[in-house]
């Protein structure tokens, strides 16, 4: 069985972060492992508090995984502190996993700043050059490039400029646009527009985590980057279409909808 490692924060509400990543890995038939970078007190209404894990424990978690089991792909999510980012980058350089997906998580759906401002430049310098794929949404791309992104042409230009910072491939997600939900994939040479209808639901908690984890799982299973991204986009679209009305705020997506259907299980 292929193995995927998520390096990210824990979401006590179960819809995003480590919990969403492991659910996504399982849904794709990949064995999931985790390195927890922070613990969040979080639910569908927002983030109440965050406690970062020490760099020593983060380094030991990385060592524990790679000195024994290894990983076919790594997904990196919430990394809020500069020291955390440097520790992860050092671990990746030491163990050299073949495939790395970086989801530059900066702000939660509720508006909570999960990445400290002083850490943004460190993330760009340390992690982006190690990425097989980086998956910013529009606000994250704006923070990386320090400029506004509105149109599809803006997105294409931004994808090119982010790719120039070191990642092999850039998937710039268009979910924050007021029009369609078209994403832009750039591999250093070719721009590909990935179109999908916008799903009318408020329950989209953890979509970025889920998409990036699906990409990592697909890469671990041997797909090319375009194949992995397209399959992941189909997966998250179905998960959003059947999102779960759990909680009083922004509910989670349904990570196991297709598996439940095949098993004849009710969504209730």
Q: State the CATH number of the domain containing residue 251.
A: 3.40.1190.20
Is 47 a domain residue?
Answer: yes
Give the residue numbers annotated as catalytic, written as ranges.
173, 204, 206-209
pLDDT digits (tens, 9 = 90+) for 67-83: 999 999 999 999 989 99
For the cut 80, the answer to whether the pLDDT of residue 18 exceeds it is yes
Number of domains within the chain: 1
Q: Is residue 16 part of a domain?
A: yes
In a domain, 61, yes or no: yes
Closest CA to 31 of 210, 217, 214: 217
Query: What pLDDT, on the 0 to 100 scale, is given for residue 109?
Result: 62
Domain holding 44, by residue range, is: 3-263
**What is residue 198's predicted lDDT score, i.e. its pLDDT?**
78
Whether 167 is covered by a domain: the verdict is: yes
Position 268 in a domain: no
Q: Would you state the pLDDT for residue 178?
A: 61
Residue 76, domain member (yes or no): yes
| Residue 127: inside a domain | yes
Q: Is the pLDDT of residue 268 over 70?
A: no
Assigned domain for 171 exists: yes
pLDDT tens per residue across span 190-228: 999 998 777 878 898 999 999 999 999 999 999 999 999
């Amino acid at each position: 069985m292929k193995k995927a490692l998520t390096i990210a924060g824990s979401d006590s509400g179960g819809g995003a972060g480590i919990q969403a990543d492991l659910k996504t890995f399982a849904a794709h038939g990949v064995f999931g492992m985790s390195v927890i970078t922070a613990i969040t007190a979080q639910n569908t209404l927002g983030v109440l508090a965050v406690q970062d894990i020490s760099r020593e424990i983060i380094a030991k978690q990385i060592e524990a995984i790679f000195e024994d089991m290894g990983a076919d792909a790594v997904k990196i999510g919430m990394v809020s502190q500069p020291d955390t980012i440097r520790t992860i980058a050092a671990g990746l350089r030491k163990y050299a996993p073949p495939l790395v997906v970086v989801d530059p998580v900066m702000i939660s759906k509720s508006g909570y700043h999960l990445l400290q401002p002083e850490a943004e430049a460190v993330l760009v310098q340390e992690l982006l050059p190690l990425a097989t794929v980086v998956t910013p949404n529009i606000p994250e791309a704006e923070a990386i490039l320090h400029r506004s992104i509105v149109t599809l042409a803006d997105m294409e230009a931004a994808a090119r400029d982010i790719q120039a910072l070191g990642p092999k491939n850039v998937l710039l997600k268009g979910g924050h646009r007021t029009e369609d939900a078209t994403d832009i994939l750039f591999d250093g040479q070719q721009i590909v527009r990935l179109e999908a209808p916008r799903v009318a639901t408020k329950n989209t908690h953890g979509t970025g985590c889920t998409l990036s984890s699906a990409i990592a799982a697909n890469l671990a299973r041997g797909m090319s980057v375009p194949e992995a991204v397209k399959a992941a986009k189909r997966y998250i679209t179905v998960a959003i279409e059947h999102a779960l009305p759990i909680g009083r705020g922004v509910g989670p997506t349904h990570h196991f909808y297709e598996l439940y259907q095949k098993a004849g299980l009710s969504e209730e």
